A and B are shown apart, each in its own frame.
Chain A
Amino acid sequence: DSGVTQTPKHLITATGQRVTLRCSPRSGDLSVYWYQQSLDQGLQFLIQYYNGEERAKGNILERFSAQQFPDLHSELNLSSLELGDSALYFCASSPRGHRVVDEQFFGPGTRLTVL
């Protein structure tokens, strides 16, 4: 158990809908990262937050947004969902955001299925 929690575990929804994925980092970790894992694209970095502020942005679509709250939990919002958004979404955390040597601790993921 990495100490990172994600809810829900599974999510099934329809095209055009909006969903929110939630992540609680390990106690004391200030950075939260979101990744999308699909069979054809592998593990893609979406976005990083450090202590409430956006720190780095990857291949995140404009339909997706995220935020980190004062208690350091984070939410990833996915809107106008398309079939191609079906994937595993992982959250990871690390103690710091600017220290490149920190390894990341991954949550169990949320499996999103868009029908």
Chain B
Amino acid sequence: AQSVAQPEDQVNVAEGNPLTVKCTYSVSGNPYLFWYVQYPNRGLQFLLKYITGDNLVKGSYGFEAEFNKSQTSFHLKKPSALVSDSALYFCAVRDMDSGNTPLVFGKGTRLSVIA
């Protein structure tokens, strides 16, 4: 079975500081990994994905994520946080070797960027 853990319910960071939102995953095969963001009263928006290749993936709004196979992690990062980055962030995984299994989402991490 595949699963995702986002160990922090809430992350607080000062504007201009770097931010990290953590994600670890568990799959039996190789993973496809995604990050989505949800702003208040909106649906989820795709930020970035890892399929294969370079472990550092760059996405929308200056976000990037690093795939670490040995640590089964896919942490989301941004060098300099903006107040407008405050939102709910979801990590998701799909096992690429197990047929048409659906995406499994983490429970979400609420990011609060303080001015």
Binding site for B on A (CB under 8 A): 2, 4, 33, 42-43, 45, 48, 55-56, 58, 90, 92, 97-98, 100-101, 103-109
Contacts and interface: CB of A to CB of B under 8 A. Distances in A.
Contact of A100 (B36, B94, B106, B108): B94
A2 B103 CA distance: 19
A104 B46 contact: yes
The 4 closest A-B pairs by CB, nearest first: A106-B43, A42-B107, A103-B46, A106-B44
A90 B43 CA distance: 7
Contacts of B45: 2, 106
A56 B44 contact: no
Q: Which of B41, B46, B106 has the most CB of A within 10 A?
A: B46
A101 B43 contact: no
Contacts of A43: 44, 90, 105, 108
A45 B104 contact: yes
Instruction: Find the residue from A48, A90, A103 having the highest chain B CB count within 10 A.
Output: A103
Interface centre among A4, A33, A97, A100 (most CB of B within 10 A): A100
Contacts of B90: 43
Nearest to B44: A106
Given A4-B43, A105-B46, A100 B102 contact: no
12 contacts: A2-B45, A42-B105, A43-B105, A43-B108, A45-B103, A58-B102, A90-B43, A92-B44, A100-B32, A100-B94, A101-B49, A108-B43
